[in-house]
Amino acid sequence: MTRFKLCSAVCAANLGRDAGGGRPRVRAVDGDDKEARRQAILDAAERLFAERNELANVADVAEAAGLAKGTVYLYFQTKEEMYLALHLRHEEMFFTALIERLQGEAPFRFEDIHALARRHMIDDPTHMALGACCIGFAPNAVPAEAAANFQSRLVGWLLTAGAELERHLPRLAPGEGVRLLKHSYALMIGLHSLRHERSDSDLRCPVLPGLGTYQQEASLALIRYWAHVAGIPDSTVEAMSRATGLPEFNRDTTPPQP
C-alpha cells in the first residue's frame, strides 16, 4: 500500500469514529436508517426531558443517543426544532388512535376519548409539560419549514377527527368537532400549568387548598365540558366523576337511619 493510500485509510477510520468515545459510527445510508436514527434522537431527547423537566441541549441529547453532536444537527437545526418534532410524535400517537377508533364500526362514547386522553396526554409524564414548553418557543426558534410541517399535520388530524366526532355526535354542528377538541386540549394544558409543582413563594401560580391532582382535575374538567357540549348522559357523568377519586364525589349521601 502506498503512503497516500495508507494515510487515506487512517483518515477514513478516524472519521468513522465518534469524537467522544472512539466508537465506530454507523452511517445512515438509506431512508429507513435515517428515520431510525431520527427516532433514536427523539427517544434520547424524551428521556432527558423526563429526567430534567426542561429542554436538554443538543450536545446532551447527542451523548444520550450515542451520536456526535454534528450528526444530530443533520436532523435538527435547533433544540427547539428537535423538541417540536417530539411533541408532534406525541400528537400523532394520540390522533392516530383517536381517528382509528372514530372510523370503526362500533358506536363512539365519551369514555373512549377520555381513555385515550388519559393514556396519551393526562397520564403521560412528558406530553403536557412538553406541549407547554413548545407553546413558549420564541418565534424564530424553529425553522419555518419545520413549523409549517407541524401546523399542517396537526390541522389535518384535527379536521379529520373533528368531522368524525360530528358524525358520531349529532348534537355537534359543522365545525364544532374541531372546536371541541381544541377547547379540550386548552383545558388540559391550562390545568397542567396551574397544577404544576412550583415554589410556595411563586405568586404567579398559587397552590389552592382542596384541589386534587392534575390527573383528577383534568379528568373532571373534560367530563363537565363534554357533558355540556356533547350531551353525555347524567349517569355517565356521575359514574365518571366518582371514578376520578375526588372526595366530594365519593361521600356517602345516604340519610342516617333513625
Which residues constitute the domain of residue 51?
24-75
- Looking at the fold, whether 117 and 224 belong to one and the same domain comes out as yes
- Looking at the fold, whether 153 and 51 belong to one and the same domain comes out as no
Q: Residue 244 in 3-state DSSP?
A: coil
Extract the C-alpha cell encoding 9. 485509510
- Looking at the fold, whether 99 and 52 belong to one and the same domain comes out as no
Query: Would you say residue 17 lies in a domain?
Result: no
Extract the C-alpha cell encoding 191. 390545568
- Looking at the fold, whether 50 and 130 belong to one and the same domain comes out as no
User: Is the separation of the CB atoms in 159 and 178 below 8 Å?
Assistant: yes
CA distance 72 to 92: 22
Query: Would you say residue 9 lies in a domain?
Result: no
- Looking at the fold, whether 210 and 232 belong to one and the same domain comes out as yes
Write the pLDDT tens digit of every residue in 144-182. 999 999 999 999 999 999 999 999 998 999 999 999 999
For the chain, how many residues are written? 258
- Looking at the fold, whether 128 and 156 belong to one and the same domain comes out as yes
Q: What is the CATH number of the domain that holds 52?
A: 1.10.10.60
Higher pLDDT, 171 or 28: 171
CA distance 194 to 201: 14
Q: Identify the helix (H) or strand (E) that includes residue 162.
A: helix 144-168
Query: Would you say residue 258 lies in a domain?
Result: no
- Looking at the fold, whether 69 and 84 belong to one and the same domain comes out as no
**Mean per-residue pLDDT, 82-110:** 96
Extract the C-alpha cell encoding 68. 456526535
| pTM assigned to the model | 0.81
What amino acid is encoded at 138 in this protein?
Answer: A
Higher pLDDT, 81 or 20: 81
- Looking at the fold, whether 179 and 144 belong to one and the same domain comes out as yes
Number of domains in the chain: 2
**Mean per-residue pLDDT, 83-92:** 98
- Looking at the fold, whether 56 and 165 belong to one and the same domain comes out as no
Write the pLDDT tens digit of every residue in 109-137. 999 999 999 999 999 989 999 999 999 99
Query: Would you say residue 161 lies in a domain?
Result: yes
Torsion from C-alpha of 72, 73, 75, 78, nearest 10 degrees: 110
Query: Would you say residue 235 lies in a domain?
Result: yes
Domain boundary among 75, 94, 110: 75
User: Is the separation of the CB atoms in 33 and 13 below 8 Å?
Assistant: no
**Mean per-residue pLDDT, 60-81:** 97
User: Is the separation of the CB atoms in 30 and 4 below 8 Å?
Assistant: no
- Looking at the fold, whether 46 and 103 belong to one and the same domain comes out as no
- Looking at the fold, whether 28 and 123 belong to one and the same domain comes out as no
Q: What is the CATH number of the domain that holds 116?
A: 1.10.357.10
Query: Would you say residue 220 lies in a domain?
Result: yes
Domain boundary among 33, 52, 75: 75
